[in-house]
Chains A and B, each alone.
Chain A
Amino acid sequence: MKDKHIIGLLEDTPFSSISEVDLETIKAHAAECGECEKAFAAAHLSSLLLHERTVETFEPSPFFQTRVMAHLRERQAANETWSWKGIWRATGALASSMVATVAALAVLTFFVPASPTTSELLEGTTARNAYSAEEVILNPSDLDEQSSDGFVLTTLYDAPEDTAK
């Protein structure tokens, strides 16, 4: 032990718990080792300081309980208010979203025009084509030069069945 540094021993146990035997060994080593001597002095002072800290203890003031109870009631009241506010806010959000949905549905029902039916759409297609299927088949030369193969195919296959016949 005499040749071994004692710093580890100082850190392993509280200074006040070091046994007399160990303390003697530490002192003997510290007398010959400057580094351990400093460490020993500092550990000793640390221990003294930590023990001196226990001298003062505060007692609860006579109003302590009253103050805590007041704080507790305040906190409970705040929690209650908060929960009511929460319910009110949630209800308000739900109601306003329902009103918005009803309004949107009313607008869609009464103001937006009805969508065209399938036959109306087909009529529209035929009207847009200046040529009938018969004309395309029988008089291909009458077609505009610019008419593409796609246009011919659309005219033939998209035309209503009775027109094609």
Chain B
Amino acid sequence: MELARSARAGDESAFEEIMRRYSPRVFHFASRFFRQRSLVEEAAQEVFLKAFTELDNFEGRGSMEGWLTRITTNTCLNLLRSAKRRPELTVSDLTEDETSWLDSNMGAAAAERHQSSERSMVAADLTERVLQTLSPDDQLVLTLIDGEDNSVKDVVKMTGWSESKVKVQAFRARRRMREAVEKLLARKPSAPVRA
């Protein structure tokens, strides 16, 4: 709170200290939404520029981290909204690695998530591509709840949405993501679907 007060009074070093303390958290959070470093940096920069101009609105009731997380969520959501949404993903769009990942993860053994980091990267790329076919709001709730294991209440705090909106959005987003993956699997020539 002291830092916020000093920064509000125009003390640049106080604001730099805020950035030093919270930028790892902001970067971590933004990394959940973007796979390119440049986009994560752009989001983080926008977050701190916005935070600086809105310091007057920070009343110190909640934590600085919570306040910045909320700004980060909204900034990422706005960036997702401004990005062009991709059309439906088809098997022909997949890389060889992605096809191979899908093949090897459709069996029951896939339940165990012991994969090499290289294969995790392939999966992350594939996730990115599938998510980009969904709406920004869907991407947000799926990433936060199903990916990051946040509770509905946490997401309410992060987004400022109502609890019922978060629940309904998550329900619909899961359906849309499942349908997108289902279509992808259905088009694969040899798709053993038993998990």
Cα–Cα distance between A5 and B37 once the two chains are bound (Å): 42
Beta-carbon contact of A53 and B45 below 8 Å: no
Which residues on the B side are within 8 Å of A20 (C-beta)?
Answer: none
Which residues on the A side are within 8 Å of B171 (C-beta)?
Answer: 11-12
Tell me what chain A mostly uses at the interface: helix, strand, loop, or mixed: helix
Q: Given that A58-B31, A69-B16, A75-B49 are contacting pairs, would A46 and B185 also be in contact in the complex, using a CB cutoff of 8 Å?
A: no
Which residues on the B side are within 8 Å of A10 (C-beta)?
Answer: 174, 178
The closest CB in chain A to the CB of B28 belongs to A57
Which residues on the B side are within 8 Å of A44 (C-beta)?
Answer: 110-111, 195
Which residues on the B side are within 8 Å of A49 (C-beta)?
Answer: 123, 126-127, 130, 181
Among B49, B170, B174, the most chain A Cβ lie within 10 Å of the Cβ of B174
Can you sample 30 A-B contacts with CB below 8 Å?
A10-B178, A30-B194, A38-B182, A41-B106, A41-B194, A42-B179, A44-B110, A44-B111, A44-B195, A45-B181, A46-B178, A47-B146, A48-B113, A50-B127, A50-B142, A50-B147, A52-B120, A52-B124, A53-B123, A54-B32, A56-B31, A57-B28, A58-B27, A58-B37, A60-B41, A60-B44, A65-B19, A69-B15, A69-B16, A75-B49
Beta-carbon contact of B149 and A14 below 8 Å: yes
Which residues on the A side are within 8 Å of B174 (C-beta)?
Answer: 10-11, 14, 43, 46
Q: Check A19 for interface membership: any CB of B closer than 8 A.
A: no
Beta-carbon contact of A65 and B20 below 8 Å: yes
Which residues on the A side are within 8 Å of B1 (C-beta)?
Answer: none
Give how many A residues have a beta carbon under 8 Å from the other chain's beta carbons. Answer: 41
Which residues on the B side are within 8 Å of A68 (C-beta)?
Answer: 19, 45, 48-49
Cα–Cα distance between A61 and B32 once the two chains are bound (Å): 17
Cα–Cα distance between A52 and B177 once the two chains are bound (Å): 15
Which residues on the A side are within 8 Å of B45 (C-beta)?
Answer: 64, 67-68, 71
